Amino acid sequence: MILEARDKPIIAMLEWIKVRLMTRMYSKKAVIEKFTSDICPNIVQKHEQLKFDSKSFSAVPSGCYIYEVDNEYERHVVNLTRKCCTCRVWDLTGIPCKHGVAAIYKNLERPKDYVHACYKNDAYVAAYKKMITPLPGQDEWVETNQPTCPCCSNCGRPPMKRKKYAVELNNPYKISKSYRPIKCGFCHKEGHNSRRCKAGITGETQ
């Protein structure tokens, strides 16, 4: 998102980021104020898909809020009290999986009541409740006696790409040159370059 602002001076870069965040927070706040559901809009769409996927499963009660959910291909155990399933999707996401949805409907309840609190409408509103305060132009800034920031001593154009961590993988769509065979530019044979080519060395001496 900030790739466009990386080559700007520090103040211009911060101003660019501030405007983008201010616009994003305002738009998110406006959307959630018009939304009437108890859970976030994205979770509502996921629930509709999970309802469709759960139609092929049958839930059989085994105990108090414990169900065995299966179809022709798989079988799982759902515990509605602990809000978990043996497929572990519910445990990892906080959203009832398709097996959990089948068990919840069998228990005559609503899946949205089993969604984690972080996906509720109240949490969404609280996340975008505060706003970023607008700032006046630089000509209206208050002058201070603080020393100015020293200029960067590095020459040349500032880098556009961010520095990657050691554990990050390289671009899978870019072919690496490290595994390519070395090919000589003089004799066009593989295994050496033109500097170590015997034919090139003998030709130069002659």
Residue 176 has what pLDDT? 64
Residue 85 has what pLDDT? 94
Q: Which domain holds residue 95?
A: 51-119
Radius of gyration from C-alpha coordinates of the chain: 30
SS3 66: strand
Residue 179 has what pLDDT? 64
Say if 21 falls within a structural domain. Answer: no
Q: Give the domain-ending residue among 74, 101, 119.
A: 119
Q: How confident is the model over 139-187, as pLDDT tens digits?
A: 888 888 877 766 555 566 667 777 878 777 777 666 666 667 788 887 8
Residue 206 has what pLDDT? 47
Say if 45 falls within a structural domain. Answer: no
65: left (phi over 0), alpha (psi -120 to 50) or beta: left
Split into its structural domains, the chain has a count of 2
Say if 154 falls within a structural domain. Answer: no
Say if 141 falls within a structural domain. Answer: no
Say if 80 falls within a structural domain. Answer: yes
Residue 155 has what pLDDT? 61
Q: Give the domain-ending residue among 90, 119, 148.
A: 119
Say if 59 falls within a structural domain. Answer: yes
Residue 178 has what pLDDT? 64
Say if 200 falls within a structural domain. Answer: yes
Burial class of residue 17 (count of CB atoms within 10 Å of its CB; 0-12, 13-18, 19+): middle
Instruction: List the chain residues with pLDDT less than 70.
Output: 149-158, 172-179, 200-206
Q: Give CA torsion, residues 71, 74, 79, 84, to 10 deg.
A: -130
- Degrees to nearest 5, angle at CA 161 with 159 and 165: 120
Residue 45 has what pLDDT? 87
Q: Give CA torsion, residues 76, 77, 79, 82, to 10 deg.
A: -70
Say if 19 falls within a structural domain. Answer: no
